[in-house]
Structure 1
Amino acid sequence: MQLEREKQQTIKKEIIVQGIALHSGQEAELKLKPAQPGSGIVFSRLDLEEKIKIPAEPASVVNLVRNTTIGSKKIKAAKISTIEHLMAAVWGSGIDNLIIEVSGPEIPVIDGSALPYYQQILKAGLKDQPQKRRVFKIKEPIFARAEASYITILPYDGFKISYTLDYEHPVIGSSYFEFEAAQMDFSQEIAGARTFGFAAEVEKLHEQGLALGGSLENAVLIEATKTVNPLRFENEFVRHKILDVIGDMFLNGRIMGHIIAVKSGHRLHVKLAEKIRAKMLEEEK
């Protein structure tokens, strides 16, 4: 993914992805289709009678409990949840415009990372479009905080994320990782990092209707002193947090800046994304 790339891109041909949805546990399917220049990333639900387009932007976010859910403010049923891993894959592959059609209220989780989506996109191939790529450059610090968690974005000639993870759990503990987009390979360093959960929380999550599709095939399960399944990276947890930041920040398209995050989650990411969008709208006036 190069910010300096001049032209916008979309995919060459349609992609179909099928699998289990993480939270509902239902079978899900999505179709990725080429989109017109300047149209951005747009989702829609194929199973609803009223066909409504949901742009991937901060104003479309309707729920942030353990995932990022976008939807229509007018039609309550028109929701699509757990978009963050797919959004990170779309960002990482260099796509600017894409139509994403979903069979139901949630997209397939595949292996709990962004890598399967990324691989499918590259396999389908990308095509250049005539319009110039839009990149919003951060000109002054923007900040969001909630108790001991915070996230900020600073002016920077590139795209970088510095993340500090700190859990009061012996398996996770504290860790730090930095992703510099211009110097590091997204597919090698970030895309494969999987979502994670705690064995002690599984029953409670199921009672809330969450993580019903979770398994060792699509998440790292953490017990009191170890992970049940092996890690792909020694610091997979913090890398996955960076993946989430990328997916949530892509709600504003491509941006140039240095993000510094400490113990942040989807709620704070979207709060920052909303503040960035406000600046974008200011500059358009």
Structure 2
Amino acid sequence: DNLIIEISGNEFPFFDGSGKEYYLKLKDLVVDFVSYKKEIIEIKRNLIIFDDNNFILLLPNKKFSCLVITNFPDYFSWQSCKLDNNFLDIIFSQTPIPKKILKEEDIRFFKNLGYFSNQNWLLGKGKFVYHKMLDLLGNLKILNKEIKAKIIAFRPSHKLNLQLVKKLEELSKGGKNGY
């Protein structure tokens, strides 16, 4: 919870293979555990954040679980993965296959969504949906609070994730940790 890493670039360089150096540095750190009571945001009523046809739904739950679903019907098949009890699993995934010949503007569109990085398509089994899951979890980590909710995210994005973070922070600051 108290780790600060400064990166000069768009994101961690995992896709180009240079992430090994980060792993080795992090592995060698001395970890000092500080005991403190972490704040909890417990969702007691349904909460939905949406943007166009994309949404993130939070449902009451005693534990944290998360389901991420991606779908771009004109181009690629469905992918989904879930995190339940700290176990990440692809519950249904197909290798996405382009359904039409992509034009240059289509390629730009998918680059902006994160389907393309360092001259490689991220189309292996579940890679894109894993990426979206990690984006969502990373954005929620900004809160530095435990969340008790079942999260269902349909085609999440950083924009949508950050709208959710802002809403949860607003509820938390308003003394409504049990929204």
TM-score (structure 1 length as normaliser) = 0.46
Change (3 A) 1:121 1:155: farther
Tell me whether 1:221 sits opposite 2:112 in the alignment.
Answer: no
Q: Following the alignment from structure 1 to structure 2, what is the Cα–Cα distance between the partners of residues 118 and 144?
A: 34
Q: Once the two structures are aligned, what percentage of the paired residues are identical?
A: 20
Note the alpha carbon deviations across 1:201-260, whole angstroms, 9 max, x for none: 59975xxxxx9xx425xxx416xxxx5xxx3xx222222211111111112123221111
Query: Would the aligned equivalents of 1:138 and 1:153 in 2 still touch at CA under 8 Å?
Result: yes
**1:145 matched to which residue of 2?**
50
Tell me whether 1:267 sits opposite 2:167 in the alignment.
Answer: no
Q: 1:177, CA displacement in angstroms?
A: 2.0
Tell me whether 1:239 sits opposite 2:130 in the alignment.
Answer: yes
Query: Would the aligned equivalents of 2:64 and 2:149 in 1 still touch at CA under 8 Å?
Result: yes
Q: 1:119, CA displacement in angstroms?
A: 6.6
Tell me whether 1:101 sits opposite 2:1 in the alignment.
Answer: no
Q: Following the alignment from structure 2 to structure 1, what is the Cα–Cα distance between the partners of residues 72 and 34?
A: 44
Q: 1:135, CA displacement in angstroms?
A: 3.1
Q: Following the alignment from structure 1 to structure 2, what is the Cα–Cα distance between the partners of residues 175 and 108?
A: 23
Query: Counterparts in 2 of 1:128-207, with a 5 A limit?
Result: 128-170=33-75, 172-180=76-84, 182-184=85-87, 205=108
Q: Following the alignment from structure 1 to structure 2, what is the Cα–Cα distance between the partners of residues 126 and 261?
A: 33
**2:171 partner letter:** K
**2:143 matched to which residue of 1?**
252
Q: What SS does the corresponding residue of 1:111 show, helix, strand or coil?
A: coil
Q: 1:283, CA displacement in angstroms?
A: 1.3
Structure 2 portions without partners, runs of 5+: 91-97, 109-113
Indicate which of 111, 127, 132 corresponds to 2:32.
127
Q: 1:141, CA displacement in angstroms?
A: 2.1
Change (3 A) 1:281 1:101: same
Change (3 A) 1:155 1:282: same
Change (3 A) 1:203 1:154: closer
Structure 1 portions without partners, runs of 5+: 1-95, 191-197, 206-210
Query: Would the aligned equivalents of 1:142 and 1:275 in 2 still touch at CA under 8 Å?
Result: no
TM-score (structure 2 length as normaliser) = 0.69
**1:70 matched to which residue of 2?**
none
**2:171 matched to which residue of 1?**
279
Aligned residue pairs: how many? 161
**2:111 matched to which residue of 1?**
none
